[in-house]
Structure 1
Amino acid sequence: MFNSIHIETDRLKLRPIGLHDLDQVFAIFSDVQTMKFWSDPPMQDRAQAKKKVLRNVQANQNNAALSLVVESKVQQNMIGQISLFNIHQDSARAEIGYVLSRSHWQKGLMTEAISAFISFCFSDLNLRRLEADIDPANAASAALLKNMGFSLEGFLKQRWLIDGVITDSEVYGLLKSTWLDKHPL
């Protein structure tokens, strides 16, 4: 099912990732500023990008995780990615992650993409809860999550070791009922 998901907004298409996205994946995930708050260091070569894309394609095929490209309708190319992972069907919950190419920051594009993605998760996938784990220093991501209705639920000290640097995490949560109060399906 995950390989057939397509979501459209006014300016964007969300579609399954594929090998044709390899150059854009490398461009996004190798950018030091874009990856500043990510849980992996920036990619150093295209082989890493290919491995990531193949892993995402396989996860989509197995319905183990969902990786969607955020594609600009105007430019008709990948400008970001949204993922759903650690999916617990019995508990109807999962984690989300997202990244946007630096050249597209501050344009409301991720707000548009995440809003459509959340609606899809709660309606089509019938999830009850979404979670997000972010670096506490990532003010833009915290603002996005709060704007979407997520609540800060926890602070995890020294959770990640990335390129020799230990970082903390903030954990945010959003319930379907909270989302539906503001965004009826």
Structure 2
Amino acid sequence: MNISQITVLAILTLFYGAWFFRQVTLCRRGVEGVRLGQGDKAPEVRCQERRLAAATLLLGIVQYVVALTDNALLAVCPTRAWMWVVGTVAGVVGIAYLVMALSAMQTNWRAGIDTARQTGLVQSGIYRFSRNPVFVGFALMYCGVLLILPNYLLVVLTGVALVLCHRQIVCEERYLAQRFGEEYEVYCRRTWRY
């Protein structure tokens, strides 16, 4: 196992570990944190959420498989030193974004649109700078892993996951605009989407 594989395994384990830890803590408080493809929502939104869930699950599995095996077969190119450095920084910043976002959301956090529970509009912490820091964290981690272990399969799956993340953001922003009205519009005007 080389330094690139070890780095990717560390990034993946810390990132997904933080995500799963949040799910466990929410579950212990009686909150169902993963609402992708569930609940009373439009069929196209439910379908989008199911696609996102499938793509991110598949990508996570493939990321671990690529990190644990010889990347030479499907490698786009050998990992250069600059790719390792930039990828590692992106992965670490992605972890930081995720942790700060989950911390700021507290029990308001959900994966997917939750029409069953009324939550508040979080505008504090990292949400003062980005309306979607969880997705930014995922994007940074995905791109960091791809830079460290450039692999054709990861290129395709990362691209698909990033497109689906953007589409999910659009769905969620529509819902939030309906749910919070002018408060959300004001928030959108002063805070970047990403």
Q: Tell me the TM-score normalised to structure 1 length.
A: 0.30
Structure ranking higher in helix proportion: 2
Structure ranking higher in strand proportion: 1
Q: Tell me the TM-score normalised to structure 2 length.
A: 0.29
Structure of larger gyration radius: 2
Whose relative contact order is higher, 1 or 2, with alpha carbons under 8 Å and at least 6 apart?
2
